[in-house]
Amino acid sequence: MDSKFKFIFFDLEAILERDPATKSKIEAFFLSPGFHAIVFYRFSNLLWNKGFRFVPKFISMIIRFLTKIEIHPASRIGKGFFIDHGCGTVIGETTVIGENVTLYHQVTLGGVSAKDKNGKLDNNKRHPTIGNNVIVGAGAKILGPVKIGNYSKIGSNSVVLKNVPANSTVVGIPGREVKKTSKKSHEFTPYATEIGDNIEDPIKKRIDSLEKELTLLSEKISNH
């Protein structure tokens, strides 16, 4: 059996480990659209690597229609991959995803258009590289050939346009690092539920501080 197909068993286990709403492997196998998408991706990726082009893309289009999840067959995805809910998720052609990665719905791992010296579109690395044990929150957009370090967490609706160091939590538009830790735990802890986590946007904090300062200045002026 091809090693990529062996990954399917790890993908199935990942659902039970990270989704409290799924109670059994039978339920995960038949009722998880994210699992359906990754199974057919594994098959289409195998065909792509053997030199086929039309059939893998056709399979990708069918799964997109059935699950609302679009995974390019040329992308590279490690074992233990989990897409929670999944609707609206897009994974581009040159995306590389490590092991034990979790994506929530409406995540885009998108590319940027670039031209070479001759003015032609550059078809090389255009999409993100996601490290191991990364969590990407709902609606987040990671664009271009950026690298997301191991054990990092991307907050919901963040837009990431530059590299993210390992063990970081990033939020905002554009994404900004708000927390860094040296802890490397394989335990699944969603980015927004860790006790004591402060994932407030630092720009928002600064704006709030300026508003308070303006209010105090206005009061002083009024008193004079």
pLDDT in tens, 87-133: 999 999 999 999 999 999 999 999 887 666 666 666 688 999 999 99
Confidence of residue 183 (pLDDT cuts 50, 70, 90): low
Q: What domains are there in the chain, each with its CATH number? A: 3-197 (2.160.10.10)
Instruction: Report which of residues 195 and 65 the model is more confident about.
Output: 65
Section 77-93 average pLDDT: 92
CA distance 3 to 1: 6
Residue 124 is predicted with a pLDDT of: 81
Please tell me the number of Cα atoms within 13 Å of 101 on its side-chain side: 26
**CB-based contacts of 211: which residues, under 8 Å, 6+ apart?**
none
pTM for this prediction = 0.80
Please state whether the peptide bond connecting residue 174 to the residue before it is cis, i.e. omega within 30 degrees of 0.
Answer: yes
Mean pLDDT of all residues belonging to the chain? 85
Residue 215 is predicted with a pLDDT of: 82
Is the confidence at residue 139, as pLDDT, over 60?
Answer: yes
Which 3 state secondary structure label does DSSP give 182?
coil
Is the confidence at residue 174, as pLDDT, over 90?
Answer: no
Amino acid 56 reads P
Is the confidence at residue 155, as pLDDT, over 80?
Answer: yes
pLDDT in tens, 7-40: 888 898 899 889 888 889 899 899 999 999 999 9
Is the confidence at residue 141, as pLDDT, over 80?
Answer: yes
CA distance 58 to 18: 30
Residue 172 is predicted with a pLDDT of: 85
CA distance 61 to 220: 63
Residue 196 is predicted with a pLDDT of: 45
Concatenated DSSP letters of 87-125: TT-EE-TT-EE-SS-EE-TT-EEE----B-TTSPBP-SS
> What angle is formed at CA 102 by the lines to CA 89 and CA 78, rounded to 5 degrees?
95
Per the structure block, which two tokens stand in for 90?
A: 């897009």
